[in-house]
Structure 1
C-alpha cells in the first residue's frame, strides 16, 4: 500500500472511532477484557501521543504514559493526540528517522502504517463495545494488516524476544500453516524457537485458514464477536490452531 493510502485509512477509521465511542463510554469492550469504551478511547489517545514523541524526539518515550494523562477527559485526549500525530506526519518525509521497537522500521513511514492498522482494530473494538455495526474494512488495508501481524509482530517477536514464547514453542512438534485470502497467502512454519513466515501458500500445510480479507484480519487479531459466524474456515488439528493463536496473543499483548 502507498503511504498516502494508509493516511486515508487512518482518517476514515479515526472518524468512525470518534463517532462511535461517545455513544456509550461505559460499555464493556468484549475484545479487550476489563476495558470500557472510555478506557479504549484513552488508550488510543495515549498511543497517538507516544508515536508523536517517537517521531519528534527520535526515540520512544519512557516511562509511559505520563501520570497527568490519567486526568484528561478521554475524548479530549483522543482529539488532541490525533491532531498532534497528523501534524508530526505532515512535518516529515516518510523516510525520516523515528524511534520504534521494530529495528527494521525506524522511520516515520513505519508509524504511518502502524497507526492506520492500530486504528482500524480499535475502531472495531469500539463498535463491538457499543453494539454498533462493524463498518466495512477495505480489502487492501485488511490484507496488509494480516501481513503486518504475521511478520512484524509474531515473526519478529519470536526472533527478538524468544523467552516469551518458550512455553508455547519449545515443545512444539513443528506445524505448517497456510493463511489464504483474496489475492494473498502466507505460509507459516513453527517449531522450537521458530516462527517463520513466507509469502504464498504452502504445498501441504497442517492447518489451513481461509476467508475474505476483513474476516481474516478480525480472526488473526481476535476481533470476532462470540456467537457470530467468523467468515473464516479453519482446517487442521486443534492443538496446532491453538499454538498459532497463542503466538499471536503473546506477540500482540
Structure 2
C-alpha cells in the first residue's frame, strides 16, 4: 500500500469511529474488557497526540498520557488529536525522521501506516461496543494489517524483548503455522525464544489458519465476538493456537 492509500483508509475509519462512538459513550466494549466507548475514544485521542509528538519532537514522549488530558471531554480530545495528527502528516515527507519504538520504522511513514491500522481496529471496537454493524475492512488494508501484526509487533517484540515471552515460549516444542488470507500467505515458526515470519507457506504445518483478509485481521487481533461466525478456519492442536494467541497478546498490550 502507498501512503496516500493509508491516509485515505485512516480518514474513512476515523469518520466511522467518530460517527458511531457518540451513540453510546457509556457502552462497554466487549473486545476491550473494562473499557467503555468513552474510554476507547479517549485512548485513540491519546494515541494520536502521542504519535504527533513523536514526529514533531523526534522521540516518543514518556511518560504518557499527561494528567491534564484526563479532564478533556473524550470526543473533543479525539477531534483535536486527529486534526493535529493529520496536520503533522501533511507537514512532512513520509521519509522524514520520527521517534519510534520500532527501530526499522523511525520515520513518518511508519506512523502513517500504524495509525491507519490502529484506527481500523478501534473503530471495530467502537462498532461492537455500541452494537452497530461492523463496516467492511478493505482487503488491502486487512492483508497489510495481518503482515504488520505478525512482523512488526510479534516477530520484532520476541527478538527485542525476549524476557517478556519467556513464560510462553521457553517450553514450546516448536510449532509451525500456515496463515492464509485469500491469495496472501505467511509461515510462522515458534520455539524457545523464537517467533519467525516468512512469506508463503510450507507444504506441511502444525496449524493452518485460513480465511478472508478482514476476518483474518479481526481473528488475529481478537476482535471477533464468540457468537459471530468469523469466517476463519483453524486446524491444529489447541495448545499451539493458544501459544500464538498469547504471543500476540503480549506483543500488543
TM-score normalised according to structure 2 size: 1.00
Q: Which residues of 2 match residues 167-186 of structure 1 at below 5 A? A: 167-186=167-186
- Would you say the 8 A contact 1:177–1:202 is kept in 2? no
Matched, 1:42 2:31: no
| SS, match of residue 230 in structure 2 | coil
Structure 1 runs not aligned, ≥5 long: none
Superposed displacement of residue 203, structure 1: 1.7
Q: Distance in 1 between matches of 2:203 and 2:189?
A: 12
| 2:57 paired residue number | 57
| 2:67 paired residue number | 67
Q: Distance in 2 between matches of 1:141 and 1:207?
A: 24
Q: Distance in 1 between matches of 2:25 and 2:60?
A: 29
| SS, match of residue 190 in structure 1 | strand
Q: Which residues of 2 match residues 58-97 of structure 1 at below 5 A? A: 58-97=58-97
Q: Distance in 1 between matches of 2:140 and 2:42?
A: 28
| SS, match of residue 104 in structure 2 | coil
Superposed displacement of residue 48, structure 1: 0.2
Q: Distance in 2 between matches of 1:71 and 1:202?
A: 52
| 1:126 paired residue number | 126
Superposed displacement of residue 198, structure 1: 0.2
| 2:104 paired residue number | 104
Q: Distance in 1 between matches of 2:174 and 2:239?
A: 11
- Would you say the 8 A contact 1:28–1:37 is kept in 2? yes
Structure 2 runs not aligned, ≥5 long: none
- Give a deviation string over 1:135-183, Cα, whole Å, max 9, x none: 0000000000000000000000000000110000000000000000112
Q: Distance in 1 between matches of 2:204 and 2:155?
A: 21
Which aligned segments of 4 or more residues in structure 1 are displaced greater than 2 angstroms? Answer: none
Q: Distance in 2 between matches of 1:69 and 1:15?
A: 22
- Give a deviation string over 1:59-118, Cα, whole Å, max 9, x none: 000111010000000000000000000000000000000000000000000000000000
Count of aligned pairs:
253
Q: Distance in 2 between matches of 1:198 and 1:97?
A: 27
Q: Which residues of 2 match residues 114-193 of structure 1 at below 5 A? A: 114-193=114-193
Superposed displacement of residue 227, structure 1: 1.3
Q: Distance in 1 between matches of 2:216 and 2:63?
A: 34
Superposed displacement of residue 190, structure 1: 0.4
What do you get for the CA RMSD once the two structures are aligned? 0.4
TM-score normalised according to structure 1 size: 1.00
